A and B are shown apart, each in its own frame.
Chain A
């Protein structure tokens, strides 16, 4: 379902995209997010509090086969994915907060994911491959740091990298959609509607709950939009990798159905959400008179 070449290509793309993201950041952005850890804490709560619970509710309410249910639960317990950074960037959210939330939830994940998985499914005996989690961290932080240094050395190099990074990010999203659908057509046709609902619902409900929670706690709308995307967008590739490393054969293939479907639909859902958020952002701009400023 996900080949080695495809994974390597994805990794390279994410590297370049994160380089561009880094070029849009300054150390001050991280300093500000750390100085107000409120947003971060909210992110961790919605990531590991709400998402697994939403997954649990979906499993309880929908008629799902056991293998699918396990897939939903694993997906729901994943940390934030790097795609959330891309969508936060395009929705003009707080990118530094998004990157920090991804990192924090990944770090906390080492501890929290097993606990939550055990909590929600005492029967589920899973081994969390730490090396994958570390790989995710490196993949995320190294290019971000390089991008930040590039911008500091030369603002033009930074701006150009950011520009191409964001173009590649758009391409990446389109690539995900057009490459996965045809090759998994047969799989898509045979999947039950309950599985679809679970795979789509997880992201959509997560984004909604994340947003309402953050707004309820009076976070700035820009930060609330960031928390929403961060909550709803899970690390799909990590789920795929974890399942691939932990299980084998047809068992692995059936557990993977939800993460793959989720990854496909979250791109569509997030694109629509991003369009809405962008509009909200533009509407909130101060109206400045046309003449002299």
Chain B
């Protein structure tokens, strides 16, 4: 070893524990109930729509509703410990209630991106085999096709305006039905979320203390979430995050932002909760300190968040580079930046130095960058408050060891590049039903991140490059293989290669290089074909037709050569 052990602990504030013995609670269900007892009547979650219509649940209300829903899952839907339950909703009040209910019922939460196409949903369902799903009415029409491989017996349907007061809920319902026509009829047998809660409540009254009993058999090392990710190898797989993983990562992260005041913070959650960063930090972390979470169902266009900024005293905001950059380009945000903001945190993708500087200039408050992977629940490193360093992912969170190693797994000298590997209580149990993939990713207890990083002498880390070909579009991993496979199936396509190119708005954008089979193939045709089969963020933003693609001597298409060409073009542009 070329360094003293964990030199970064010297950067922690004096009241920060360098090692956290273990989570304060056995399971997430215990944590939720105990926290609700502490903060009772304080507002816990608020949905804020673009026009300012809103709904709020207190800690006590969310706790009671999730108790009833847990009873519904176990007694009415007939689920048992360890059964998977999917949630496919945008940020709204239904999300926390359902997530809490799943943990209380001793079941396993499977987060599903609501924007997924039926094809993508089907793949995830087939792998996770959920016994129940909570889905938002806007996307429920995709279920019929998505359940061909694995039928889900219990379908619970919710809506964005769920648990809002009657009049605004009614108005939102009318607007969705007749104005944007975003809600389509649901043909599958299903139950509405409020009805499920009522059914559970009735049953709950008959049984005594049933809810606590559901998680008695659950141990801290049991799986709490199957969090799907392409990981570093590109095949979509479920990271098994245990109760202990998530509770520890929540504590590790909150330990570094101790200056927050219990029961007084207001966090703006524009990041989708199904993303692991928002899940652990916003949902669990801010819940743990009695904060109010303002849930934004859809932050696009960014003006949709104007009312939330006007109506609530936002003290904390987490987001990705794209969000911070976008807000700094909005006139209304520049005119009245949030006055009560303490800090903002960035994750999901590299925070550009220029964006961080501009944010601080506009709001007067820093945006601190963290780093992590789905496989690490997700936070591995974070910039210590007040000692934030530009272009750095900060220092490892407590109880976490991070090293940079060479190809043979030996430490590289401080200041030199190596693959970042990490060890800690937040590292996942493994990939769901994929032991070979787990073995490739976790070796001797160390998580191989596939990211190339440098450690500076004082313990700050800096990401140099991502390993290989993965494309990061607005914080989402896009795997060229998947898009290439899909495009290759198009009759007009002969050969295809997909790479990531720098993009101002999303960090990286997908670019497809295509050798035509059919001369009449157009860029629009390619893109609309992709839109049919892929979630929007995976659809190539740029399409270029070529006569041939660069290949190795064994005929493998060389993405790296295409990337080099693109890099050269960018450099020429920059020089001009």
- Known contacts A151-B52, A155-B52, A163-B51; A286/B326 CB under 8 A: yes
Q: Does B537 lie within 8 Å of A293, measured CB to CB?
A: no
Q: Does A156 lie within 8 Å of B168, measured CB to CB?
A: yes
Nearest to B46 among chain A residues (CB) is A155
A292 to B275, CA, bound (A): 8
A14 to B311, CA, bound (A): 26
Q: Does A290 lie within 8 Å of B52, measured CB to CB?
A: no
List 7 additional A-B contacts (Cβ < 8 Å) besides A155-B54, A159-B52, A292-B474.
A156-B54, A286-B326, A287-B505, A289-B505, A291-B115, A291-B475, A292-B320
Complex partner residue of B535 from A163, A288, A290, CB under 8 angstroms: A290
B152 close to A (CB within 8 Å): no
A-B contact pairs, 25 of them (CB 8 A): A28-B336, A151-B52, A155-B52, A155-B307, A160-B168, A160-B171, A162-B51, A162-B52, A222-B331, A285-B301, A286-B301, A286-B302, A288-B301, A288-B302, A289-B322, A289-B506, A289-B536, A290-B535, A291-B115, A291-B473, A291-B474, A291-B475, A292-B271, A292-B537, A293-B323
Q: Smallest distance from the beta carbon of A155 to chain B beta carbons, Å?
A: 5
A32 to B334, CA, bound (A): 11
Q: Smallest distance from the beta carbon of B344 to chain A beta carbons, Å?
A: 13
Complex partner residue of A286 from B307, B330, B476, CB under 8 angstroms: B330
A151 to B53, CA, bound (A): 11
Chain A hits for B51, CB < 8 A:
159, 162-163
Complex partner residue of B271 from A160, A289, A293, CB under 8 angstroms: A293
Q: Does B303 lie within 8 Å of A285, measured CB to CB?
A: yes
Chain A hits for B49, CB < 8 A:
159
Q: Does B335 lie within 8 Å of A32, measured CB to CB?
A: yes
A167 to B275, CA, bound (A): 37
Chain B hits for A160, CB < 8 A:
53, 167-168, 171
B290 close to A (CB within 8 Å): no
A220 close to B (CB within 8 Å): yes
A158 close to B (CB within 8 Å): yes
Q: Does A156 lie within 8 Å of B271, measured CB to CB?
A: no
Q: Does B53 lie within 8 Å of A159, measured CB to CB?
A: yes
Chain A hits for B301, CB < 8 A:
285-286, 288
A292 to B331, CA, bound (A): 22
A271 close to B (CB within 8 Å): no
Nearest to A163 among chain B residues (CB) is B171
What range describes how many residues of B lie at the interface?
Answer: 35 or more
Chain B binding surface, main DSSP class: loop
> C-beta contact mask, B315-356 vs A, less than 8 Å → 1, else 0?
000011011001001110001100000000000100000000
Q: Smallest distance from the beta carbon of A187 to chain B beta carbons, Å?
A: 37
Number of A-B contacts (CB under 8 A): 95
B43 close to A (CB within 8 Å): no
Chain A hits for B331, CB < 8 A:
220, 222
B272 close to A (CB within 8 Å): yes
B68 close to A (CB within 8 Å): no
B165 close to A (CB within 8 Å): yes
Q: Does A290 lie within 8 Å of B311, measured CB to CB?
A: no
B240 close to A (CB within 8 Å): no
Please give the residue numbers on chain B whose beta carbons come within 8 Å of chain A beta carbons, in ascending order: 49, 51-54, 115, 164-165, 167-168, 171, 270-272, 275, 299-303, 307, 310-311, 319-320, 322-323, 326, 329-331, 335-336, 348, 473-476, 505-506, 535-537
A48 to B495, CA, bound (A): 66
Chain B hits for A220, CB < 8 A:
331
Please give the residue numbers on chain A whose beta carbons come within 8 Å of chain B beta carbons, in ascending order: 26, 28, 32, 151, 155-156, 158-160, 162-163, 220, 222, 285-293
Q: Does B52 lie within 8 Å of A291, measured CB to CB?
A: no
A290 to B301, CA, bound (A): 10
A293 to B536, CA, bound (A): 14
Chain B hits for A286, CB < 8 A:
301-302, 326, 329-330, 505
Q: Does A158 lie within 8 Å of B474, measured CB to CB?
A: no
Q: Does A28 lie within 8 Å of B310, measured CB to CB?
A: yes
Chain B hits for A293, CB < 8 A:
270-271, 299-300, 319-320, 322-323, 326, 474
A285 to B50, CA, bound (A): 15
Nearest to A162 among chain B residues (CB) is B51
Nearest to B164 among chain A residues (CB) is A156
A80 to B82, CA, bound (A): 67
A19 to B537, CA, bound (A): 41
A140 to B475, CA, bound (A): 47
Nearest to B274 among chain A residues (CB) is A292
With a 10 A CB-CB cut-off, give which of B164, B307, B330 has the most chain A CB atoms: B307
Q: Does A290 lie within 8 Å of B115, measured CB to CB?
A: yes
Q: Smallest distance from the beta carbon of B470 to chain A beta carbons, Å?
A: 14
Q: Does B336 lie within 8 Å of A291, measured CB to CB?
A: no
Chain B hits for A26, CB < 8 A:
310
Q: Does A292 lie within 8 Å of B272, measured CB to CB?
A: yes
- Known contacts A26-B310, A287-B505, A293-B320; A159/B168 CB under 8 A: yes
Complex partner residue of A288 from B165, B168, B326, B335, CB under 8 angstroms: B326
A222 to B332, CA, bound (A): 11
Nearest to A221 among chain B residues (CB) is B331
Chain A hits for B168, CB < 8 A:
156, 159-160
Q: Smallest distance from the beta carbon of A28 to chain B beta carbons, Å?
A: 5
Complex partner residue of A290 from B167, B302, B537, CB under 8 angstroms: B537
Chain B hits for A292, CB < 8 A:
271-272, 275, 320, 322, 348, 474-476, 537
Complex partner residue of A289 from B53, B303, B335, B537, CB under 8 angstroms: B537
A159 to B50, CA, bound (A): 10
Q: Does B535 lie within 8 Å of A291, measured CB to CB?
A: yes
Q: Does B536 lie within 8 Å of A290, measured CB to CB?
A: yes
Q: Smallest distance from the beta carbon of A151 to chain B beta carbons, Å?
A: 7
With a 10 A CB-CB cut-off, give which of A285, A287, A293 has the most chain B CB atoms: A293
Chain B hits for A158, CB < 8 A:
52
Q: Smallest distance from the beta carbon of B48 to chain A beta carbons, Å?
A: 8
Q: Smallest distance from the beta carbon of B438 to chain A beta carbons, Å?
A: 26
Nearest to B509 among chain A residues (CB) is A289
Chain B hits for A156, CB < 8 A:
52-54, 164-165, 167-168
A163 to B319, CA, bound (A): 30
Q: Smallest distance from the beta carbon of A38 to chain B beta carbons, Å?
A: 14
A28 to B333, CA, bound (A): 12
Nearest to B115 among chain A residues (CB) is A290
Q: Smallest distance from the beta carbon of B228 to chain A beta carbons, Å?
A: 14
Nearest to A35 among chain B residues (CB) is B335
Nearest to A222 among chain B residues (CB) is B331
Chain A hits for B311, CB < 8 A:
155
Complex partner residue of B336 from A32, A155, A163, CB under 8 angstroms: A32
Chain B hits for A222, CB < 8 A:
331
